[in-house]
Amino acid sequence: MPVWLRFILVFCFTLRIAAPTSHAQSDDGKIEAGELIAKGSKLLAKGDALMKRKKADKGLNAYAEALEAYEASYEAYNSPQIFLLIAIAEQKLSRYLEAMRHYETMLSDSSSDKLKKEAADAAIAGMKEVQKFLSALDITVEQDGATITIDGEEIGTTPLDGPYWVDPGEHIYTVTLKGYTAVEEVVDLERGEQAERQVRLLALPITVVAEKDDDEIPFDTVTETATPSKTTLYASIGVSGTLLTAAIVTGLTARKRHTTFSDMDLPAEEREDARKSGKNFSLATDLLVAGGLLAAGYGLFSYYTSYKPAKERMAAESEQEQAELWVAPYATGNQAGMAIGASF
């Protein structure tokens, strides 16, 4: 932003600062704000001069003091146009995202006078410079009224007014709407990148639950006992078989390498290579055999401690559920006979 334009704006802020947004703001606050703005602008100019003389530390300190003065002026007299000066100071301090937020806030002010026009032009120019150091995420959602959150901060509901500016790097955005499945995505943005995302939310399935009459008794109720799972047994057999098969292969290979090593007619280098590789294959065979035996042992352990007891328990329960027939003699007074009964 040109230095002369900044001083013109400062002069406008001091003499013709926008009308107060509340009657509670007094003339004293307006005067105090004008003094703080003048102080901040002097510090901003001082910072520019120090930067030109390559005294960066002192220049940054001057910018920071200018920012404090502008912030204090807004507290004394909260005119939205003061955000322009705050944004300029933040931009000087390389606080680009904060500067962008204040530029946007100032431009969203609904007042429309000459001062607003001058400040708006300066804000737009400042935003173009700040955008070079930021990234933007423009999210378009097919459904209106969806809530968009970026990095845990709710930024608004669709449709949004243009892109949302963020620092370069990784960000997470979510789109939620009642009755629809939420969408979440991680995006990694480069400096100056403006990414666009188009989202179409999918409606949640509707589940209809029929009301149950408490007086209704089912005609037939079938109780099914779960069959013990054989997955562990099959897995142990499969693993054991695979490991032992591999052990056979490595064992044969080790034996073949040993035969090569024992052949004294072969060159010493080839025999030494056969010795080393044969040793490795032999070690692998031992490990595979041990693994296969462990897998088989675990399968047997699972069979006797889990599967077999569950199977026996199911058989016992099944026998109890079967019909029982019983026969018993009886004698009462001058009568005698056999009583036959059954339970179902």
pLDDT tens for each residue of 242-265: 888 888 888 888 888 888 888 787
Q: What is the pLDDT of residue 189?
A: 93
Single-letter amino acid code for the residue at 263: D
Q: What is the pLDDT of residue 285?
A: 86
Distance (Å, whole) CA 6 – CA 26: 26
Q: What is the pLDDT of residue 2?
A: 53
Q: Report, as ranges of residue numbers, the positions in the chain whose pLDDT lies below 50.
A: 3-5, 7-8, 11, 14-24, 219-224, 323
Distance (Å, whole) CA 55 – CA 64: 14
Secondary structure letter of residue 228 according to DSSP: P
Q: Rounded to two decimals, what is the model's pTM?
A: 0.53
Sequence-separated (6 or more) residues with CB below 8 Å from residue 319: none
Q: What is the pLDDT of residue 208?
A: 64
Q: What is the pLDDT of residue 72?
A: 93
Q: What is the pLDDT of residue 210?
A: 60
Q: What is the pLDDT of residue 8?
A: 46
What burial letters (b/e) apply to 84-114, b meaning 16+ CB within 10 Å? bbbbbbbbbbebbebbbbbbbebbebeeeee
Distance (Å, whole) CA 37 – CA 85: 8
Q: Which strands form 147-150's sheet, in the order they lie side by side?
A: 153-157, 147-150, 169-176, 183-189
